[in-house]
Amino acid sequence: MIDSTVVDLSRLQFAATAMYHFIFVPLTLGLSWILVICELVFVLTGKPIYKEMTQFWGKLFGINFALGVTTGITMEFQFGTNWAYYSHYVGDIFGAPLAIEGLMAFFLESTMFGLFFFGWKRLPKWGHLTVTALMALGTNLSAVLILIANAWMQDPVGSAFNPVTMRMELTDFAALVLNPIAQSKFVHTVSAGYVTGALFVLGISAWYLSMGRHVEFARRSFRIAAAFGVAGALSAIILGDEAGVEVAKSQPSKLAAMEAIWETEPAPASLNLAAWPNEEKQANDWAIRLPYVAGLITTRSISKELPGVRDIREQNRARIASGVQAVIALEDMRKNPGDAAAREKFKRHEADMGYGLLVRRHVDDVRQATPEAIEKAAMDSVPKVAPLFWSFRVMVGLGFLMFGLFVAALWLSVGNAHQKYPCLLKLFLWSLPAPWIASMCGWFVAEYGRQPWTVFGMLPTHLSASSLSSASLWGSIAGFVGFYTLLLCAEMFLMFKYARLGPPAAPQPNNA
C-alpha cells in the first residue's frame, strides 16, 4: 500500500517551497515593466528624475530578483528527489518547456540583469533601454514556459501513454505550447504580477507623499503605478474570467468545488455569491445565490448546465470501474506481450486508465478492487469544496478591491490631489499585502483544485511520490522552511532599508 504520510509530506514540502518562491515572482514580473516605462520616459524626455526612478526601483527589483532565483532553483530538483515516479512518467513532456526556460529565458534575463546594473555608464541611452526591455521580456518568457508545463498537468494535451515504455510521450509540441489552459493561465498570472508591482510602487510612493519626502519623485512614480495598475488589474479580472471558462471545459470537478455546486445546475446556472459548504451532507447549509450569473460567466451561454459534485462523482465512479479493467489489461499485456485479447481490452478502456489507478490508494492490487474501494476512489476524485470555494472568493474580492484602489489613485494623480486625502495614501500603503494574498489564493485554487491528480485524469498524486522516509521529509521541510524564512527576512530587511532611504539623488527635506 502507498504510504499516505510520505505523499502528504512531499506535497507539503513542495507547497511550502513553491509558496515561498512565489512571494518574489509576481513582484519581479511587475517591476520589470515599470522599469521599462520609467526608462523609456527618461530616454524620450531626457529628464534626470526618470533615470533616478529607474535606478531606485531597479535596486529593489534586483534584491527581489536575486532571492527569487535562489528559491526557484531548488524547486526543479524536487521533481527528482520527492517525485521520482512523476519525473519518470512524464519527463519527456514536462522536461521540454523547463529545459527551454532554463536555456533561453533564464539566461536571457540573468544576462540582461547584469547589464542593467553595470551598463549605465557603458551603454548609450537606447542601448540600456533595450537591455531593460529584454530583461523584462526574459522574466515574462520564463513565466510562460513554466506555466506551459504547469498547464499540461492541468490538461495533458499533445501527449499519449506508451504501454511499452510505461511513460507519457510527447506527440504534438504545438498543442503543448498552445494549450488553452496555458494561454489563459499565463496572461492571468502575469497580469497579477503587474498588479503586484504597481501596488508595490504605489504604496511606497504614497508613503513618501504622506511624509512629504521625495515629493516630485513620488508623484511621478505614483502616476505611473496608478495607470499601470489600472491596466493590470482590469486585465487580471477579464483574463481570470477567461481562465474560468477553460476550467469549466477541462476540469468540471474543480469548477464545481470552486462554486460549491453540489447538484447539477440547470441552464442558466445560478452563482453562489456566498455559501457554507457541508462536505458531510454534500450540500450547502446556506447560500446567497445570483440567478443566471454562473452560467453566463463560465459557459458564455444560457443553454448549458453546470455539473454538480454529486453527478461528477457518479460519472467518475463509472470511469474508475472502466479504468480498473484498463489497468488489469495492461498488466496482462506486460506479462504476455502477445496477448491480443488483453491488447483489445486495453484499447477499449485506455481513456479511463488514470481513473482506475485511483483505487491504488485503497487496494494494492487493482484486481481486488471491491465496490467499496471504487466508491472511496470516487469520493476522492473531487477535491474538498470549502477550501476552494472561499480561497477563490478571497482572490476575486481582493482583485476588485485593488482595481478600485488603482482607479482612486489615478483620479488623485489626474487632479494632483494627493495631499488632500491622507487617509487614501495610508490605505494604499496598508494594502501592500493584498496582491500577494490574492496570488497565493489563486495558486491554491489551481493546484489544490487539481487533486487527486498530479497530471489531471492520468496520474494520481499518491502514485507520483518517491520512496522516502517520513523522518527525512520532516528534516528537509524544516531545513527549507528555516532557510527560506531567513531569506524572506533578509528581503524584508533590505526592502525596508532602501525604501526608507529613498532615491539618493532626490532632494531631501530639511528635517530628514
Model confidence at 48: pLDDT above 70: yes
Q: How far is CA 497 from the centre of its chain?
A: 29
Mean pLDDT across the stretch 343-372?
Answer: 91
| Residue count (the chain) | 512
Retrieve residue 175's grid coordinates: 498543442
What pLDDT, on a 0 to 100 scale, did the predictor assign at position 268? 83
Provide the grid cell at 508: 531631501
Phi, psi of 96 (to 5 degrees): -65, -55
453: helix, strand or coil = strand
Which pTM was predicted?
0.90
Distance (Å, whole) CA 30 – CA 47:
23
Residue 511 has pLDDT above 90, yes or no: no
* 298 pLDDT tier (thresholds 50, 70, 90): confident
Rounded to whole angstroms, the Cα distance separating 297 from 263 reads: 18
pLDDT tens-place string over residues 432-477: 999 999 999 999 999 999 999 999 999 999 999 888 888 999 999 9
CB 67 within 8 A of CB 490: yes
Judge whether residue 330 has pLDDT over 70: yes
Grid coordinates representing 257? Answer: 468545488
Cis peptide before 266 (omega within 30 of 0): no
What band does 228 get if pLDDT is binned at 50, 70 and 90?
very high
**Percent of the chain residues topping a pLDDT of 90:** 59
Q: How confident is the model at residue 505 (pLDDT cuts 50, 70, 90)?
A: low
DSSP symbol at 287 = E
Per the CB < 8 A criterion, the answer to whether 449 and 223 are in contact is no
Crossing angle of the two packed helices 309-335 and 340-349, in degrees rounded to 10: 160
Query: Which has the closest alpha carbon to 192: 389, 435, 453, 499?
Result: 435
Distances (CA, A) of 93 to 74, 89, 174, 280, 392: 20, 9, 12, 38, 29
Residue 10 has a pLDDT of: 92
Identify residue 195 by its one-letter amino acid code. Answer: V
Angle at 90 between CA 88 and CA 93, to 5 degrees: 130
pLDDT at 506 exceeding the cut of 50: no
Instruction: Give the pLDDT of residue 1.
Output: 56
pLDDT tops 50 at residue 349 = yes
Predicted confidence at residue 512, as pLDDT, reads: 35
Report the 10 Å Cβ neighbour count for 8.
Answer: 15
Q: Do residues 79 and 464 make contact, with C-beta atoms less than 8 angstroms apart?
A: no
pLDDT digits (tens, 9 = 90+) for 130-153: 999 999 999 999 888 889 999 999
Question: In this structure, are residues 132 and 116 in contact, taking their beta carbons and an 8 Å threshold?
Answer: yes
**pLDDT at residue 2, as a whole number:** 66
What is the tens place of the pLDDT at every residue in 51-68?
999 999 999 999 999 888
Closest CA to 18 of 455, 463, 483, 444: 444
Q: Identify the bridge partners of residue 161 per DSSP, sorted by sequence position.
A: 168
Distance of CA 16 to the CA centre of its chain: 14
In angstroms, the CA 454 to CA 446 distance is: 12
- Is the pLDDT at 336 greater than 70? The verdict is yes
pLDDT band for 507, please (50, 70, 90 cuts).
very low
What's the rounded Cα separation, in Å, for the pair 75 and 145? 15
130 is written with which cell numbers?
533595450
